[in-house]
Structure formats: structure tokens, C-alpha cells
Amino acid sequence: MKIIIAILLWSLISFSPSFAQSLVKGIVLDRETKQPIHGATVYINNSSSATSSAKDGSFQLSQKVIRNQELIISNIGYDPASITINNTNYDKVTVFLNRKITTLDEVTVIPFEKDGWTKWGKYFTEVFIGTSKFALKTKIINPEVIRFRYNKSSKTLTVIAHEPIQIDNKELGYYISYDLISFRSSFSENTIQFEGFSYFKDYKRVIKKMKQNRKTAYKFSMMRFIRSTYRHEWSKDGYEVRELIKKQNMERKAAHERLMSITNLVNKSYEGNWSTFYILQSKIKQDTVTKYRNIMRQPEYYDVLGKHYKEADLETGNMDNDLKEIKHDNYLYIWNKNETIDSDYFQYHNAYDESTRLKLTGDLSISINEMGNYSPSTEWLMEGFFAWYSKVGNLLPFDYNENN
């Protein structure tokens, strides 16, 4: 099964090493009562920088003054809030939190699964946490906060969590708190999409093996590819990037049209009885139908590799805030000739090669920065290795330094 995955794990932020440490300051209030909220978690999205609000709702977070950075405020019983801070408003942030709606089960046509975790827990863990060697030892600590709803008519699974999902990544040495905003898996479309906010907390003791595992996770990450793209270091890092064109399999298309025509005839004139159909007519043989069905097992599209790209070929120009804008037609084919992918990828993903294919939806562009972030991430669809690897069990915070 081919899976196309779009993951939104963070919003666009722009770092600059020249910025000095400053205090991000503000207050957290209940939107309805305007009363301060004590103990709310305040953090920089997808980073290890976090604090809590005091009794009067105030908070202070020592952080580089960063333009277009996303500050997340989360508290049990409230919907998480996202505030964009920059070097003009970072010291006067006022956040209003909305209380979660508690009557959702009563007004929803499709109820949550009563034994949701028993039925869907394994699947959710595999597509959310992942199936890599690091992900397999990563645990969801509080699965009871996760709820599942399956729509049989659309074959779609949606997942919500009424509290942040707490995750223990033993191999990388992180505790991760993940505010799940949405999760949708369409079995008819073979697509998975989820988005949320996360912050990382180091183990009290990060041993040498964990540091080495982080280096390995970084080596295969989408974050590394984006950083390499920004720095024009594809050649140094071993990336080969080519144009990929999807060519429709015309033999399969013709076989599909013919088989549908025959099937409609059997259903209409022979009440769906194929045995009777073969007996009462002589023009269409059973071997012919079998041939069409065998052709239908072929891929719908063939991958045709085109020209080699350089980083500058994708850039449409620099944007404000140290960002670069990139755009491409057709697919990008990405392969790293310097790295050997573990066999668990082929075991779990039934893959035929080590490549990644990226496709922009619509007539959009992607903004990237030097820390490895890209936005809007939900508009960059992934197939192949990055789609498999870009799961929570392999995630690193954006303040990860690959040189440490």
C-alpha cells in the first residue's frame, strides 16, 4: 500500500545565532472569566524551551529574541493556544485560553469507539510514533487520554486527545509532550495527516548512547535535508535530487475501462453471475477477463526520473526574516548516496527503494529556514522514506545542534 503523508509538527520560525537571550514575558488568562491560569505550560514549539505560569498567570521564558516564532500555551481542560512572537512583542504577551468543549460525545453523530485503544492503539502507535528501531522503544505514557472515531462510510479514522500526549523516547533520551490538534487516516485514499505542538525535555542523565542515537536520527531526518537545502550542502551531505514525473500506465487504464464495462454487463444482464455469463455468451472468454485482472495488478503510474537539480534550481528568492522560498513542478526524487538505511524500513514499509518523493499541492511554494523548518508543511506531500521516518519516535527539537 502506498502511503502519502503530510505532517504538521511545527509552524515556521526563524532563528539567528546573533540574537541575544531575552525574557519572553506575558500572562495567561481564562477567556471567559478573565481570571489568571496557574500552572499552564508555556513553550517554544518543537523545542526544549519551556516554563509554567505562576499563580497570577504570569510567565517568563529565557529565549533568543526570534522573529515569527510560535509560542504555545497548554493547560488541561483548555484548548492549546498559539501566539506568534517577534522582536517587538515578546515582552508583553497576553494569552486567553478557551475551555474545551465537554459535550462533544452528546452532539456527534459518530460516537467514539468504546474500546478504542484496544482496537486502534497498535495502528495509531505505528503511524504516529513510527516503526523504526528508535520508535519501537518509544512509549505513550498516557494512552487513556486518546480517543478514536471511525467513519465506516468514508473509511476514515480520526483521533483526538483531551490532554497532551506524554511520550517517553528511551533511545533518544527525551520526554515529549505533544498537543495533538488533529489526526486523520483515510484508508480509501491511503493517506495519513496529523498536526500538533510539541516540546522536548531531556532525560536527567543523557548517556553517550543516547547522544549517538540522536546523531543517527538526525542523519536520516527531513530536518537535515531542509538544513542542507538552505545551506546549499547537498553535495557535501550526499543528497541526489532529481525531477520525477508520474506517467500513467496506459495499458492498465485500458484494461480497467474494459474490465469495468464487462463487469457492468455481467451485473446488469446476468445478475452478477460470472459462470452464467461465460456459458451463455462466447465473445468474451474467461482467459481474457483473467488477463485484464492481472494487468490491473500493475502500478497505476510509473516513475520517470528527469533532470538533476541543484539547490538554486528550487529557489524563487529570499524572503523576509532569513527565510528562503522554494518551489518545484512535478515530484522531487531524493536519495542520499552516503547513507545506508536500516532494513527495518523495508520490513515495515514494503518499500522497493530508499528514495523519498515530495510533491507540492496546488500552485504553492515552501518556505524554509536554516534550522530545518519548512512551511506550510501540510502542502508538501511525502511518499517513501521521509514519510516513514518523519514520525514522533524519530523527532528531534529544532534547537538540536548536529555538531554537539
Q: What is the pLDDT of residues 75-109, one digit of tens each?
A: 988 888 888 776 667 778 899 999 987 544 444 56
Domain contains 400: no
Q: Residue 328's closest CA among 261, 256, 241?
A: 241
- What is the rounded average pLDDT of the residues 179-197? 88
* 11 confidence band (pLDDT: 50, 70, 90): very low
**Residue 47 forms part of a structural domain:** yes
| Average pLDDT, integer, range 368-379 | 80
Q: Say how many C-beta atoms besides its own lie within 10 A of residue 167's C-beta.
A: 22
- How high is the pLDDT of residue 102? 56
| Between 7 and 162, residue with greater pLDDT | 162
Low-confidence winner among 19-33, 245-259, 289-303 (lowest mean pLDDT):
19-33
Whether 7 is covered by a domain: the verdict is: no
**CB-based contact 199:50 (threshold 8 Å):** yes
Residues 235, 306: one domain? Answer: yes
Alpha helices in 232-368 (DSSP H): 234-237, 250-269, 274-280, 286-295, 311-314, 344-349
Query: Is 38 part of any domain?
Result: yes
Using a 10 angstrom Cβ sphere, with 0-12 exposed, 13-18 middle and 19 or more buried, the burial of residue 56 is: exposed
Look at the chain and report how many structural domains it folds into: 4
Q: Are residues 308 and 339 in the same domain?
A: yes
Both 130 and 276 in one domain: the answer is no
Residue 239 lies in a domain: yes
Residues 277 and 183 reside in one and the same domain? no
User: Which one-letter amino acid corresponds to residue 170?
Assistant: K
pLDDT for the residue numbered 106: 44
User: Are residues 192 and 131 located together in one domain of the fold?
Assistant: yes
**Contact (CB, 8 A) for 392 and 165:** no
Inform me whether the pLDDT recorded for 176 exceeds 80: yes
**Joined grid coordinates for residue 136:** 519501537
As a whole number of angstroms, the distance between CA 162 and CA 160 comes to 7
Q: Are residues 64 and 138 in the same domain?
A: no
CA distance 391 to 387: 8
* Same-domain pairing of 135 and 180: yes
Query: Residue 361 carries which DSSP code?
Result: -
Whole-number pLDDT of residue 319? 58
- Given this model, what pLDDT does residue 320 score? 58
- Of 97, 119, 141, the residue that ends a domain is 97
Domain assignment present for residue 13? The answer is no
Same domain, 167 and 188: yes
How high is the pLDDT of residue 402?
Answer: 87
Q: What is the per-residue pLDDT for 114?
A: 86
Q: Average pLDDT of the chain?
A: 86
End-to-end CA separation in angstroms for the chain: 39
Question: Which residue has 491560569 as its cell numbers?
Answer: 37
Same domain for 84 and 149, yes or no, is no
| DSSP letter (8 states) at residue 190 | T
* pLDDT confidence of residue 142: 96
pLDDT of residue 65: 53
C-alpha cell of residue 153? 462510510
pLDDT in tens, 31-77: 999 999 999 999 888 888 888 999 999 998 887 655 557 888 989 88
- Domain of residue 46, residue span: 21-97
Asked if 6 and 183 touch (Cβ cutoff 8 Å), the reply is no
pLDDT of residue 377: 73
Is residue 373 included in any domain, yes or no?
yes
CA angle 171, 183, 190 (to 5 degrees): 95
> Quick one: pLDDT band at residue 122, thresholds 50, 70, 90?
very high
Residues 352 and 235 in one domain: yes
Same domain, yes or no: 224 and 329: yes
CA–CA gap between residue 345 and residue 362 (Å, rounded): 30
Q: Is the pLDDT confidence value at 242 over 90?
A: yes
C-alpha pair distances (Å), 333 with each of 29, 326, 329: 47, 15, 12
Contact 199, 49 (CB under 8 A): yes
Residue 304 clears pLDDT 70, i.e. is over it: yes
Query: Looking at the structure, do residues 336 and 389 belong to the same domain, yes or no?
Result: yes
pLDDT at 6 over 50: no
The residue out of 40, 74, 97 marking a domain boundary is 97
Residue 233 has pLDDT above 70, yes or no: yes
Residue 16 covered by a domain: no
Element (H, E) at 199: strand 191-202
Cα 83 from Cα 96, distance rounded (Å): 10
Under a CB-based contact definition with an 8 Å cutoff, are residues 29 and 37 in contact? yes
Q: How many CB atoms lie within 10 A of CB 277?
A: 20
Q: Shortest CA distance to 316 belongs to which of 361, 366, 270?
A: 366
| pLDDT at residue 190, as a whole number | 83
Sole residue written with cell 496506459: 250
